Amino acid sequence: MNHNAEISPIEVLFRSQVRKDPNVRNAYLLVHSDKTGLHVNLAEGAGENGKPTPQQPNYMASVGKLFTSTIVSMLHEKGLLSFEDGISRYLDSGLMDGLHVYKGKDYSSDIQIRHLLNQTSGLPDNFYPLFDKLLADHSFDIGPREAVEWAKRNLTPQAVPGKKAYYTDTNYHLLGLIVEKVCGEPFHVVLKKLIFEPVGMKHAYMLHCSEPEEASPQPVAGFYIGQTRLNDLKGFAGIDYAGGGVVAPLEDLLLFMKALVGHQLVSKETLAIMKSDKARLMPVFDYGYGIWQLRTIPLLVPAKYKSWGVLGATGAYMFYHPELNAYVIGSFNHVAWQRKCVQFMFRVMGKLRE
């Protein structure tokens, strides 16, 4: 594959998509393949205070869930917890009491760590109701434990644990609290020790919780809903937490994905479990341990797009295509691109095959 021949169509596609949408102020795309020698790192948009640059850190929304599931998997390998453990082993009775009451029956003690990881706990999603509160009142602030307690009081579970997938940040809030219990440190400290430092993600940090090892020479990219810039809302730290929160330049995110794919963080066997213990989340996606896996469907989703990775509500994506040995990472930094980014990613993969 010719390096220069491939850069042009990918760059043209990316820039044209961004320029068509006036709501997107700063979008980013990194495409890398060791197999072909291709490496493209792009930024586009009107910008905020100057044109965006590829080196800017991006808030990656639920892309952070893959970091959380990787940490839990590392703790599993160390024997500090097991995927099959009941979560009551790590969470206090105050939090567990009445956590999951479905159709009059309490299933709280039936929830296993694996149910949180693959979104099959049946617990309700606390993110969007709390996000609405934050949008209505920018001073709104809540901690992750309080966010779970709020869901317990105000929302209704969706299913019996282990029966079906229901995507919820509540699951990943609980995983963050379990990590803190096992490690005896705040989640952002564990994230830095187990992933950022070993992988070399020097400019990565957790939104409103930590600072990078080295300050980025470029300002963090803004992320938006409508015309509202969300970066500076402190309440995001509590409602995102271990369900997101990772901020990093795309080159740092590539380091993480290469380390995960290359079994530098977890073994080949554990990564296989992270992918194989999955549930159908959407018609074209299965969900493993923080991992979205494309389900190929004849005519609708051809096998040439078969890949796995993770998506975020801001139009963020971080995927690996095994056949092409290629990584596609980026963000449109706008909630309007939450679903559209998937189609864009497929088009990039199509360009890689040309």
Distance, CA of 281 to CA of 158 (rounded, Å): 14
**Short-list 47, 44, 50, 53, CA closest to 19:** 44
Report whether 297 contacts 283 (CB < 8 A): yes
pLDDT exceeds cutoff 50 at 60? yes
- Alpha-carbon distances of 52 from 24, 229, 338, rounded to whole Å: 11, 15, 20
Q: Using DSSP, how many helices (H) and how many strands (E) does the chain show?
A: 13, 15
98 and 229 in a single domain? The answer is no
The pLDDT of residue 50: 86
Length of the chain in residues, anyone? 354
**Segment (H or E) for 146:** helix 144-154
The pLDDT of residue 2: 39
20 and 130 in a single domain? The answer is no
Residue 312 belongs to a domain: yes
Residue 120 belongs to a domain: yes
42 and 159 in a single domain? The answer is no
51 and 112 in a single domain? The answer is no
The pLDDT of residue 4: 43
For residue range 109-121, list pLDDT tens digits in order.
999 999 999 999 9
Which one of 183, 210, 231 terminates a domain?
183
**Short-list 169, 174, 124, CA closest to 151:** 124
245 and 295 in a single domain? The answer is yes
| Mean of pLDDT over the chain | 95
Residue 249 belongs to a domain: yes
Residues 6 or more apart whose CB falls under 8 angstroms from that of 25 comprise 45, 46, 47, 48, 52, 222, 224, 333, 334
19 and 110 in a single domain? The answer is no
For residue range 276-314, list pLDDT tens digits in order.
999 999 889 999 999 999 998 887 888 899 999 999 999
Distance, CA of 303 to CA of 317 (rounded, Å): 19
Structure letter (DSSP) for residue 86: B
Percent of the chain scored above 90 by pLDDT?
90
pLDDT exceeds cutoff 70 at 3? no
For residue range 310-346, list pLDDT tens digits in order.
999 999 999 999 999 999 999 999 999 999 999 999 9
H-only helix segments in the chain: 3-19, 64-77, 93-96, 113-117, 127-136, 144-154, 169-183, 187-191, 197-199, 236-240, 250-261, 268-276, 340-353
Residue 192 belongs to a domain: no
131 and 252 in a single domain? The answer is no
**Number of other CB atoms surrounding residue 208 within 10 Å:** 18
- Alpha-carbon distances of 318 from 48, 211, 271, rounded to whole Å: 24, 22, 16
The pLDDT of residue 8: 76
Domain count, the chain: 2
- CATH number, domain with residue 168: 3.40.710.10
Range of the domain at 228: 3-63+202-353
Burial of 348 from C-beta contacts in 10 A (0-12 / 13-18 / 19+): buried
Token couple for 168:
């919820």
Report whether 167 contacts 183 (CB < 8 A): no
Residue 193 belongs to a domain: no
Residue 191 belongs to a domain: no
- Alpha-carbon distances of 234 from 97, 134, 149, rounded to whole Å: 29, 9, 19
Residue 134 belongs to a domain: yes
74 and 172 in a single domain? The answer is yes
Sign of the CA dihedral running 151, 154, 160, 163? negative
For residue range 194-242, list pLDDT tens digits in order.
999 999 999 999 999 999 999 999 999 999 998 899 998 999 889 999 9
The pLDDT of residue 297: 87
140 and 234 in a single domain? The answer is no
pLDDT exceeds cutoff 70 at 6? no
333 and 207 in a single domain? The answer is yes
pLDDT exceeds cutoff 60 at 190? yes
Token couple for 264:
């530098």
46 and 81 in a single domain? The answer is no
Q: Which amino acid is at 3?
A: H
For residue range 241-272, list pLDDT tens digits in order.
999 999 999 999 999 999 999 999 999 999 99
Helical pair 144-154 and 127-136, crossing angle rounded to 10 deg: 110
Residues 6 or more apart whose CB falls under 8 angstroms from that of 157 comprise 100, 101, 102, 107, 122, 123, 124
43 and 58 in a single domain? The answer is yes
Token couple for 140:
């709104």
Residue 188 belongs to a domain: no
Token couple for 216:
């980025």
Which one of 183, 213, 233 terminates a domain?
183
